Amino acid sequence: MPFETIVYRVDTGIACIRLNRPQRMNAVVQQLYDELRAALQAAEDDNAVRTILLTGEGRAFCAGADLKAHKAGRTAFARRQYLRGEQAICKQLITISKPVVAAVNGYAIGAGAEMAIAADFILMAASAEIGLPEISIGNFVGGGATYLLPRLVGLAKARELIILGERIDAQEALRIGLANRVYPDQGFIKHAWEFSQKLASKAPYSMQLAKENLNRSGEMTLDTALVTELEGMTFCATTQDWQEGVDAFAAKRTPTFKGQ
């Protein structure tokens, strides 16, 4: 696809999306949201894609909104459309059927942090930082941050991150349960790719069901969870991948899942 603000490629079951405005530390403009939405939909529709790896080109994951671009006389309507674009992207990251890995290679600030938080897994380079400074500049957070953060790190820590707007480093993000892994700066993308490959090797339908149920866990009763799990187990048992998993276990080999 002829993208200008992102780079999109698919390799060995992984759709890698790189935010590609390094001259502005991948700060967000409307075009980036539009192209990111299209790339995510392409990954969703491609049966060869098992997982999505989102990262940034250069020394930042995403430094938030491009305030310089936003000064260029936008109407109130255009500003609202831009803000709706961010909300739509984060919802797409949360609800897309395939697991999303945010590889935070540098600063993830504001909208950048919100996109990372909306992913299923956050991997951070050792020198990376993440923060939500919106309230400190008289703005407000978006992307579902007030919904997701308390579930990820607890209400008390979510209050600190959102209301105080404190930027935290990778080790602190790992300590509080926001980041899943921290890797050295050197070779970071290689580590993120290997992590994504582990996901890509799993059974697609099983991963999809796991993502859906985990995302709904805070809103389900125990009885509802038991019912949805039963339905999931029953469905998976009808797939070729289930038989492949059973056969591979019996033969003591690694299964090869086909999403069938």
Please identify every residue annotated as catalytic: 114, 134
DSSP H helices, 160-239, are 170-175, 188-200, 204-215, 222-236
CA 54 to chain centre: 7
Strands 121-125 and 181-183: parallel
**Cβ(114)–Cβ(101) below 8 Å:** no
Longest dimension (CA), the chain: 65
Q: Counting runs of H as helices and runs of E as strands, what totals does the chain give?
A: 11, 10
Using only C-alpha atoms, the chain has a radius of gyration, in whole angstroms, of 19
